[in-house]
Amino acid sequence: MTGNELRKKYIDFFVSRNHKEISGQSLIPENDPTVLFTTAGMHPLVPYLQGQPHPAGMRLTDYQKCIRTGDIEAVGDPSHLTFFEMLGNWSLGDYFKEEALSMSWEFLTSEKYLGLDKERLSVTVFNGDDEVPRDDDAANIWRSLGVPEDRIYFLPREDNWWGPAGKTGPCGPDSEMFYDTGKESCGDDCKPGCHCGKYFEIWNDVFMQYNKTEDGQYIKLDAPCVDTGMGIERTVTMLQGKNSVYQTELFQPIIAKIEELTGKTYGENEEEDISIRIISDHCKSATMIIGDPRGAKPSNLGQGYILRRLIRRAVRHGRKLGITENFLGQVSQVAIDMYKDVYPELLEKSDMILSELELEEKQFSTTLKKGEHEFEKILPNLLKNPKKEIPGRLAFKLYDTFGFPLELTEELAGEHGMTVDRPGFDSAFEKHQEASKKGADKIFKGGLADHSVMTTRYHTVTHMLHEALKRVLGDHVEQKGSNITEERLRFDFAHPEKMTNEELKQVEDIVNAEIAKHHPVIMKTMTVEEAKAQGARALFSSKYGEQVKVYFIGDYSVEVCGGPHIENTSELGTFVIQKEQSSSRGVRRIKAILK
């Protein structure tokens, strides 16, 4: 079964079970300061899982583009990816465990769908602890579906519990389904969740049945929800009996292009295979990020920084394979051709994707020259060292500050009869990774969709800022991202040049004049086509006939949005622009506050 076939079968199955297919959202979350990218299928749906009504109803299904960046340095092995797709279905206070698990079992085992051998499927459920009881309900449902006792595993919180996203909010036990790959067991303790590869996790059903309070209590929700997820890449790999996602049609055309460019053959040399996998994944991810409706461009901040890291790591591995010319555009074109029917925005933005990749490749060549120059500057002092060794922290500085690859530092060192302190470099790198992961964890745990009074005000005034920018600068202005905290808003938008003081004053004055009119903020639910007819601003990638929320700020602004809003602009106070600066090529950034 191919990825396209799996995607279609999944959506068709849940639509036939009265779920509405909704559009997957942008890779770059709207007005969510907690994460740089959409990390899971449930991420855009958090407000609805927390109780907001969804315009499409209580049963939903979709496929979602995702980026996870916590393990960028691990990409290169046979399994890690930065870009992947998640299939999902949700119950927003409608059905619960029995229907969710029954549908999961039917999709996995029915010959009409995946047709997996029931005898090779095992399940896990939450074992309970001092705070929450064991999930006997889920276990009993599995028994009723025919899963024998010896293939139902009770596991602790770290294995079978989700949430809350922040310190408080919806959370609950989950139940995971595993397929026995047929590999040898690693020992008596081998069970689903073991990392030896015998058991393959194929699906996860999360039951949000509790609300965790500030004082740590778990209160049962009146309308519990179900959130499920299945990764396309991982599942296709298993269904095709492959050892790695890179052996499937989701990567083979890209790898064939890299083989053509390098003269290498995938599968003959493990070190070269690592480089081929890194180029394949990173180039696909970069294509998706640049080509997204809210696409980012390479920069030193936020999404643009991650994008730059992906591109430069791919270029470095291209050099390792002997490529000296710009090549990412050719690899990216293959990815565009592979996904253009599923994500039409890639075709629409193909010129921009290819030009941005070429620009970044050229710029990185300049960066490498700077790194070589820096190395030459410090070389005389290094040669005085009787140890003839470049300290690890210095090699890491060249890597971190100048983007200079360690292998190039080792190459240059070798030309002068020197070595590099690898353990010292690894130590400095680990410290950097720990700091980065702590920062990422802090961002992720900051509270997805954790909307306070102030963040709700800032969210609303962001719409007003967007409208004012269009009126002052022109219709080319398009939101490219935003970040909202309790203290301020940050808004990125497409515009080719620095705004003048007069333009900034005009924008500020327009927003404050409209705030002073005490506009009511009204939400209406309508189809995408109706929203367009009303002149609503949005990045319309929604499916035909799909229901969306449209917010009207008096007669001033009309915008499609899923976030929280105030009821009247009189609640906003005075809008003050504090700073306007470049965010990345062709994108400007405004920081503003409400007084």
Detail the residues annotated as belonging to a binding site: 459, 463, 561, 565
Distances (CA, A) of 362 to 6, 308, 404: 39, 12, 15
What the block records as the tokens of 95 is 């059905």
Instruction: Tell me the C-alpha distance between 262 and 372, whole Å.
Output: 24
Instruction: Tell me the C-alpha distance between 163 and 463, whole Å.
Output: 30
Strands 83-91 and 218-231: antiparallel
User: Left if phi > 0, otherwise alpha if psi is -120 to 50, otherwise beta: which for 146?
Assistant: left
Instruction: Tell me the C-alpha distance between 26 and 161, whole Å.
Output: 27
User: Left if phi > 0, otherwise alpha if psi is -120 to 50, otherwise beta: which for 228?
Assistant: beta
Instruction: Tell me the C-alpha distance between 308 and 452, whole Å.
Output: 33
Under a CB-based contact definition with an 8 Å cutoff, are residues 38 and 66 in contact? yes
For the stretch 125-129, contacts whose Cβ atoms lie closer than 8 Å and that sit 24 or more positions apart, written own/partner, are 125/152, 125/153, 125/154, 125/155, 125/160, 125/173, 125/175, 126/154, 126/155, 126/156, 126/157, 126/160, 126/161, 126/173, 126/174, 126/175, 127/154, 127/155, 127/156, 127/160, 128/154, 129/156, 129/157
Under a CB-based contact definition with an 8 Å cutoff, are residues 161 and 172 in contact? yes
Distances (CA, A) of 556 to 201, 279, 313, 455, 515: 50, 47, 46, 21, 10
Instruction: Tell me the C-alpha distance between 326 and 331, whole Å.
Output: 10
140: three-class secondary structure by DSSP: helix
What the block records as the tokens of 168 is 């408080």
Under a CB-based contact definition with an 8 Å cutoff, are residues 44 and 562 in contact? yes
Instruction: Tell me the C-alpha distance between 413 and 416, whole Å.
Output: 5
157: three-class secondary structure by DSSP: coil
Under a CB-based contact definition with an 8 Å cutoff, are residues 556 and 467 in contact? yes
- Binding-site residue positions for Zn(2+): 459, 463, 561, 565
> How large is the C-alpha radius of gyration of the chain?
26
